[in-house]
């Protein structure tokens, strides 16, 4: 595999070997690592699921149920073992308007429709189009996401109940100060120190899990007064009950939920497929895009019928899983089942975990997620690529991931089109017979059509002109129109024009458009002109 900034970034993630050998068996040691990794992920899922439920304006259990159901189903049938899915902030910020205007039942119906759309995308194999996302966009994506994860953790440095959580951080509320702030920072630093130092000593248990346990033991053992998981909300509940959304099944309801469902489906798939690519870079796996779309859709359909807010892939938790050694579906399944056990049985214990421990884990995720090498290469890569990296990073932070990716792809596509538009030019010479030959070089498409037309000197050219496309390619209808316009100018001036060396697909485009004007019998490389003339009876007729 070719080394790129993203692959080099992936290799820097600390922990167990990033690859799971194809012939690696589920030994007791491997199962132990997977289960402990799942436990670490489950602990980190609790505060985020609760926070995103607050963002969407629903009960915390609605977020926790989504984390459990989406995480379990995608772990079972998802496109990439090692990925973790659940309730996310990017979806929550879209849901809040729907819940505020129409209520939570409409949200459940929307999640079901969202899942149906995602399954359809997977069945149609449209997930493969994620490969059109350029590498600079991927770098901007991971950098922006690292910043978003960092900003989201700042909520924990505010007095419980005083801060309003958003998809990109916090608003309002009072910051911790004095001894409370220093204690919180010290516990965060302790967690990060354990995560950094433990792998140098032993890998018996995942470092993030050890960091959580050590910090929790210090806080509980010394009775330190710091915010804990229970300060956010009570997480105790029952098994998710089956529930058909209580909405009218009519066209009016569809008109309400369809726009939200389309937006949520698009955001969820973009985030999931980009996370799939990132985890694939780290674990050196390929494919699975369509399967992931179907898995995400199926998970959301089920979640909508069991009182969950829906979800998609979570890059932060996926990074925790990979860093903790999780490589198989066992880790994701274990994370979901541990989360359910927290809801059913262990809520009093989980509510005692200090938020500082979970913040420390996420800060280490931020450090591991950010592609630090991208900062160094900004001055070495083409300026447009550097601009795209910075643009996608900024839009991710200030808007959302899906918008950032779309903007990055559009800017990259426009830049590519402009660069190719400026490449069109020609070399000219006159044959012994007195014909002027234009050797077109560069692609001929909508961006370069005007430049192509300006190359010709109709008034000054001799009576016979040959346009040679051996070093060019006719790409679209704008190119066909440009060729037709040039030919019309020469015809109006009483001069003949011949086209040479058109590739077969370009020849077919011209034929379908009805603009074929091939008079040349000198086509030594492709012999397309002769073939066409013989087939249509034109040869010798004009």
pLDDT tens-digit map of 261-271: 998 998 899 88
pLDDT of residue 295: 96
Distance of CA 61 to the CA centre of its chain: 27
Tokens of 441: 């070089």
Under a CB-based contact definition with an 8 Å cutoff, are residues 188 and 360 in contact?
yes
The top-level CATH class assigned to 425-536 is alpha beta
Q: What is the mean pLDDT of residues 279-296?
A: 84
List C-alpha distances in Å: 271 to 86, 117, 516, 529: 12, 15, 45, 48
For the chain, the distance separating the N- and C-terminal CA atoms, rounded to the nearest angstrom, is 55
Tell me the average pLDDT across 162-177: 61
Which of these, 138, 152, 115, lies nearest to 273 by C-alpha position? 138
In this predicted model, which residue has the larger pLDDT, 219 or 518?
219
**Per-residue pLDDT at 332 exceeds 60:** yes
On the question of pLDDT at 16 being above 50, the answer is no
Burial class (CB in 10 A: 0-12, 13-18, 19+), 152: buried
Instruction: Give the position of tokens 């990055």.
Output: 408
Question: What is 67-92 written as a DSSP string?
Answer: HHHHHHHHHHH-SSTT--EE--HHHH
With bands split at pLDDT 50, 70 and 90, how would you rate the model's confidence at 325?
confident
Q: What pTM does this model have?
A: 0.73
Q: Locate the domains of the chain by residue range.
A: 5-19+27-161+177-232+247-412, 425-536
In degrees to the nearest 10, what's the CA dihedral of 367, 373, 376, 381?
-140
Nearest-angstrom CA–CA distance, 301 and 321: 25
* Distance between CA atoms of residues 203 and 393, nearest Å: 34
| pLDDT value of residue 224 | 92
Give the DSSP per-residue string, 2-38.
---HHHHHHHT--SS-S---TT----HHHHHHHHHHH
3-state secondary structure of 440: strand
Per the CB < 8 A criterion, the answer to whether 385 and 377 are in contact is no
Q: Which pLDDT belongs to residue 536?
A: 33
CA atoms within 13 A on the CB side of 122: 27
Distance CA 332, CA 327 (A): 9
- Give the integer Cα–Cα distance in Å for 10 and 282: 5
Look at residue 89 in the predicted model and tell me its pLDDT. Answer: 80
Are the beta carbons of 247 and 106 closer than 8 angstroms?
yes
Question: Mean pLDDT for the chain?
Answer: 83
């Amino acid at each position: 595999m070719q080394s790129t900034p993203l692959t080099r970034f992936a290799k820097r993630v600390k922990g167990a070997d990033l690859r799971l050998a194809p012939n690696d068996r589920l030994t007791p040691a491997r199962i132990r690592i997977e289960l402990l990794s799942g436990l670490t992920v489950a602990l980190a899922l609790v505060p985020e699921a609760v926070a995103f439920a607050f963002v969407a304006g629903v009960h915390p259990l609605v977020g926790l149920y989504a984390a459990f159901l989406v995480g379990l189903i995608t772990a079972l049938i998802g496109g990439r073992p090692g990925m973790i899915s659940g309730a996310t902030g990017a979806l929550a910020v879209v849901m809040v308007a729907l819940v505020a205007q129409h209520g939570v039942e409409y949200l459940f119906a929307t999640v079901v429709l969202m899942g149906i759309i995602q399954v359809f995308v997977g069945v149609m194999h449209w997930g493969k189009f994620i490969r059109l996302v350029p590498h600079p966009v991927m770098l901007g994506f991971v950098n922006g996401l690292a910043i978003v994860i960092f900003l989201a953790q700042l909520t924990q440095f505010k007095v419980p109940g005083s801060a309003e959580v958003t998809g990109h951080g916090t608003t309002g509320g009072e910051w911790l100060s004095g001894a409370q702030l220093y204690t919180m920072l010290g516990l965060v630093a302790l967690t990060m120190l354990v995560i950094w130092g433990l792998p140098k000593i032993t890998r018996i248990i995942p470092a993030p899990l050890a960091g959580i346990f050590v910090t929790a033991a210090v806080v509980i053992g010394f009775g330190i007064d710091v915010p804990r998981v229970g300060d956010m909300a009570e997480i105790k509940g029952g098994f998710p009950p089956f529930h058909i959304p209580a909405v009218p099944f009519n066209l009016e309801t569809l008109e309400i939920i369809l726009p939200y469902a389309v937006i949520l489906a698009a955001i969820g798939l973009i985030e999931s497929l980009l996370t799939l690519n990132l985890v694939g870079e780290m674990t050196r796996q390929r494919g699975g895009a369509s399967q992931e779309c179907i898995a995400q859709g199926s998970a959301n359909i089920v979640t909508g019928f069991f009182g969950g807010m829906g979800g998609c892939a979570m890059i932060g938790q996926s990074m925790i899983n990979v860093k903790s050694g999780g490589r198989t579906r066992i880790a994701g399944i274990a994370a979901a089942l541990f989360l359910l056990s927290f809801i059913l049985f262990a809520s009093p214990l989980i509510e005692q975990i200090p938020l500082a421990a979970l913040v420390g884990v996420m800060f280490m995720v931020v450090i591991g997620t950010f592609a630090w090498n991208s900062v160094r290469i900004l001055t070495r890569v083409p300026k447009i690529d550097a601009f795209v990296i910075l643009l996608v990073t900024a839009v991710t932070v200030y808007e959302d991931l899906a918008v950032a990716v779309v903007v990055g792809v559009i800017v990259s596509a426009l830049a590519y089109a402009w660069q190719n538009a400026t490449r069109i030019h020609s070399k000219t010479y006159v044959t012994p017979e007195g014909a002027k030959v234009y050797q077109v070089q560069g692609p001929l498409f909508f961006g370069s059509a005007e430049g192509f037309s300006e190359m010709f000197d109709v008034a000054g050219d001799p009576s016979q002109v040959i346009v040679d496309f051996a070093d060019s390619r006719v790409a679209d209808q704008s190119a066909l129109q440009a060729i037709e316009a040039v030919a019309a100018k020469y015809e109006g001036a009483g001069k003949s024009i011949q086209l040479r060396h058109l590739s077969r697909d370009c020849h077919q485009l011209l034929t379908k458009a009805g603009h074929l004007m091939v008079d040349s019998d000198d086509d030594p490389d492709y012999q397309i002109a002769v073939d066409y003339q013989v087939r249509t009876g034109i040869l010798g007729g004009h």
